[in-house]
Structure 1
């Protein structure tokens, strides 16, 4: 009986031992196999498009008017992030472009505004100004620019470093900051539009000592002058049902205009509005940008070899038009319909010059925008305007009463109070106590929603779930930002009563499009939250290169093939 039981057990044990040994030997053989090299076909060209002041709902609101070759092509054949946001404030052009390309926020890259009070020099500084360099292509100071105030690398820098500087970077925008910041510290060229009577594209000695001949030829052509014509709607104005009435009290006007209505007779008001500068605040400004971008593709050989190049294009006129006419205007709608045609033209040119499947595009915005508060009030929605003059008067009275002097405050800039540390020391006061006293005072003012002190932002670690505190902290730089940050109520702005603006941590300023298209990109969409700093590491992951050195974003895995 024992033998009958033991024999099957022995057989089973031997079989099991044999199988385990065989499996181990198999694994050992697998380990010894040489890895199979995988060929990664990188795109020949990355095209980064930033549409200035583009709210996400401009995609959906004007959808039925778009053609098949622009926004719809990017969406239908690419990947759409539908819940994409800025994760900081202030939401403005300089910080927006820097954050898209650095993969981080102002707390790290240091671009805390378009202009800000500089503690070291005790002056107000402009984000891109740099007197160390001279203008190229103009005798004015409009070209004395560089990215020297941006503290980290960009995805464009990292591509240059990865390719031993053989991958080119060219950056183009009407606004200098819309070209200088995306181009990074290592761009081969960055060009922006001077406007005025010249209508020229210019640059800085930071990049080159003289304009290339093709730029000289472009400036000498009638490419810009051809837009000296009335701005009429692309389609019959009766079809613009997605916008408000053409004549209303919520829109600004060009100097010399009697009404806000189409057509806008640009030639008649040319001289009163700075010559070609008037084109910035029309749909034609985007077309001028596209014309120049196509000239770049024709003359700079981008995407012509197997080393990845970068081409950054920022469409600035959408911002100028939004500021002048407002979110709900026919002018904004017409600008986006015409931009759709410009995008189609750009994509078609890329197909021919670089080749279908050889390039990758991402499109996003540098911030959103608010509806004109006066319009919102008329719709019975809480909104309004901050009286910063009255606020300052009341604040100065508080300072005199509390501290005996207003000298305790250096300045108020970008909704931030900058204190004079020397005065505080001389008065033998504690900095954190002064910050808190001032914060409590400002919080009592009408239309203020939240106030934060520098010590709060220094000591706490806010997460995305906390909402506005998280956004304020991500936009606050320890060395550059102010001592007290204040946030107005939703729907309230410090701005004229016509036109739209931006800059707040509110969702109308943070929710923007993010589209990916082309080589290495899946077709699809996501409703998961994505954030502006995620763009650069996503592109870096696709290219297999190092992330920008201040990156805090995460790659969006769903986007990549």
Structure 2
């Protein structure tokens, strides 16, 4: 008997006596095994979180919140937005679509609509009604976003079996991440202190949401003053309390602790957005959503998109150097610790894939920078628009040449230009020349210039990726580093964002939980890499407009 024949007989005898040899069994098992997937994906967006906040308050963070994510998770330390403008709506859309405003269509929180002659809000939808309130706060949907999201692709991949829910105090922070095919999106209505939705998703709130609203948490939180978590003297990472560049609550004399919230809240529940308890409220709703909807308990992966909005409200009002911002992050750290502990007990860390990032950063207050002799300044959109109108009248004759100046973009009146038989490109170029001579302006791009160019790097690329002809202006203005619009105020309070500079583009990107090892890298990544990375981990199709790349190769056990 030859050696080959002998091996074949041994193989058949092995099958008769006890099955395949161990090596063959192992190969068969691995080849037929269903690919592993997490039970639940939790996307966390912290609104207006600069990257340096991970370390600025390090000594005061607990061991179970941000530090746990960094200690046990993977940190992409050089993660940036790759377009302008860096606002909340475009940020949330870009995280979940894997592409930029040029392709998902959310070019700002608002943009000018030439057809209607008015501004369009990124999540507005007048064809739907509010669910859970008598206000119009629920007339919202993702209809203005023209690309699919990773949450949409998960629904498609599982034949609608996956449960997808978005939640936030802000409607846009909930709706855009949840995508078009979501089971639900919920957001906060300050008129009644409740979480609401719209008829885009449902005709009535689920019983668990009604029960949550009946707890009246908003009223409880607003009935307490905002005091610091630690003794005031320990807030050494911030400037002293009561700075001229800090804003105040309506009726408040000085921006100092304790903030007497019950005295300033008024007759609505809107102020919850602007105090740390707003994040706690969001965390409590997220926990309730997972439990009530049995998320992560089914046969396929579910997805919960959570956006913490209070950080943005506090940042805008008080600025990055304020004790208020520091205290908000110390309290958010506690909320994250509670949420991670809940995940441990309810589903297990090993079954949940978590990522944490931000929709944009925030600039240092220009008045504060000037005190330190660091170049900074402000512009006034009203003055800039008036100057532009006057000079266009001198050049082309008196007419309403400009329809709108917003988001540092000039929308020209195409109807007037056509009726006057003036060349549109000539007017765009004249606007660019005028704007370049104004204080604080660094660069100007015309729509014609953007349509004819294809930048692969630098500022031109960032402007091009944020430009969509049907929704963007005719001329895009880029301000100098450290500059932003003062909205006509004599003293600029708090902060703003929207620029192409690191303080607005550099945001955290942390991965944690399911198959995520501890580690970090300084490789340059972009916000558009999140969605394709999720697609790779979940083994599903990436969103249809995705421009980013998968980061899975950097995160291996």
Q: TM-score, normalised by structure 1?
A: 0.91
| Kept after mapping to 2: 8 A contact 1:147/1:184 | yes
Alignment map for 1:40-439 (pairs within 5 Å):
40-196=35-191, 198-227=192-221, 228-271=223-266, 275-439=268-432
Correspondences of 1:517-556 after superposition (within 5 Å): 517-556=512-551
* Alignment partners' CA distance in 2, 1:560 and 1:121: 51
Task: Report if the CA contact (8 A) 1:146-1:206 is conserved.
Answer: yes
* Contact persistence 1:87–1:531 (CA under 8 A): yes
Structure 1 counterpart of 2:14: none
Say which SS state the counterpart of residue 404 (structure 2) adopts: strand
State the partner residue of 2:470.
479
Tell me by how many angstroms 1:406 deviates: 3.4
Q: Is the CA contact 1:56–1:512 (under 8 Å) kept in the aligned structure 2?
A: yes
Q: Which residue of 2 aligns with 1:515?
A: 510
Cα distance in 2, alignment partners of residues 427 and 253 from structure 1: 48
* Cα offsets for 1:354-384 (capped at 9, x unmatched): 2220000000000000011111111111111
- Structure 1 distance, partners of 2:556, 2:394, is 60
The structure-2 alpha-carbon separation of the partners of 1:435 and 1:560, relative to structure 1 and needing over 3 Å to count, comes to: farther
Q: Give SS of 1:224's match.
A: helix
Distance across 2 between alignment mates of 1:247 and 1:256: 15
Unaligned runs of 5+ in 1: 1-29
Look up the SS of the partner of 2:269 in the other structure: helix
Aligned twin of 1:559: 555
Gapped regions of structure 2 (runs ≥ 5) = 1-23
Question: C-alpha separation between the residues in 2 aligned to 1:523 and 1:142?
Answer: 42
Q: C-alpha separation between the residues in 1 aligned to 2:93 and 2:194?
A: 25
Cα shift readout 1:222-259 (whole Å, capped 9, x = no counterpart):
32222120111111111111011012111001112121
Q: Please give the alpha-carbon distance, in whole angstroms, between the structure 1 residues aligned to 2:417 and 2:247.
A: 44
| Residue 392 of structure 1, CA deviation | 1.9
Tell me, in whole angstroms, the C-alpha distance in 1 between the residues paired with 2:36 and 2:345: 19
Aligned-pair CA distance for 1:423? 2.7
Q: Deviations over 1:37-77 (max 9, x none)?
A: 35421000000000000000000101111111111111111
CA contact (8 A) 1:326 1:371 kept: yes
Name the CA distance, whole Å, in 2 between partners of 1:249 and 1:224: 30
Output the CA distance in 1 between the equivalents of 2:292 and 2:42.
16
What is the CA–CA distance in structure 2 between the aligned matches of 1:76 and 1:288, rounded to whole Å?
Answer: 26
Of 403-412 and 283-292, more deviation after overlay is shown by 403-412
Of 82-91 and 473-482, deviating more is 473-482
Q: CA–CA distance in 1 between the matches of 2:282 and 2:310?
A: 9
The offset of 1:560, in angstroms, is 4.6
Contact 1:522 1:558 in 2 (8 A): no
CA distance in structure 1 between the aligned counterparts of 2:181 and 2:456, rounded to whole angstroms: 33
Distance 2:133 2:66 in 1: 35
Following the alignment from structure 1 to structure 2, what is the Cα–Cα distance between the partners of residues 54 and 91?
Answer: 12
Q: Secondary structure at the match of 2:96?
A: helix
> 2: CA distance between counterparts of 1:407 and 1:372?
34
User: SS at the partner of 2:144?
Assistant: coil
After superposition, the C-alpha distances for 1:83-113 in whole angstroms (9 at most, x for unaligned) are 0100011101000000000000001000000
- Would you say the 8 A contact 2:283–2:335 is kept in 1? yes
Deviations 1:421-472 (A, max 9, x none): 33323333332222112111111111111000111111111122xx211111
In the alignment, is the contact (CA less than 8 A) between 2:389 and 2:401 conserved in 1?
no
Question: Matched residues in 1 for 2:399 and 2:370: separation?
Answer: 36
Give 1:9's aligned residue: none
Alpha-carbon contact 1:542-1:560 (below 8 Å) kept: no
SS of aligned partner of 2:31: coil
Distance 1:427 1:406, change over 3 A: closer
Q: Deviations 1:270-291 (Å, cap 9, x if unpaired)?
A: 21xx532112111111011111
Summarize deviations over 1:469-510 as a string: whole Å, max 9, x none: 111111001222111101111111113411011011111100
Instruction: Return the alpha-carbon distance in structure 1 between the equivalents of residues 213 and 34 of structure 2.
Output: 43
Computed over aligned residues only, the root mean square deviation of the Cα atoms, in angstroms, reads 1.5
Deviation string 1:183-228 (CA, Å, 9 cap, x unpaired) is: 00011111111113x2111110000000111111111113222212
The normalised TM-score by structure 2 is: 0.92
Asked whether 1:469 is paired with 2:460, we answer yes
Change (3 A) 1:560 1:194: farther
Q: 1-side partners of 2:279 and 2:555: how far apart?
A: 28
User: Of residues 496, 502, 506 in structure 1, which corresponds to 2:497?
Assistant: 502
Asked if the contact 1:95–1:112 (Cα under 8 Å) also holds between the matched residues in 2, the reply is: yes
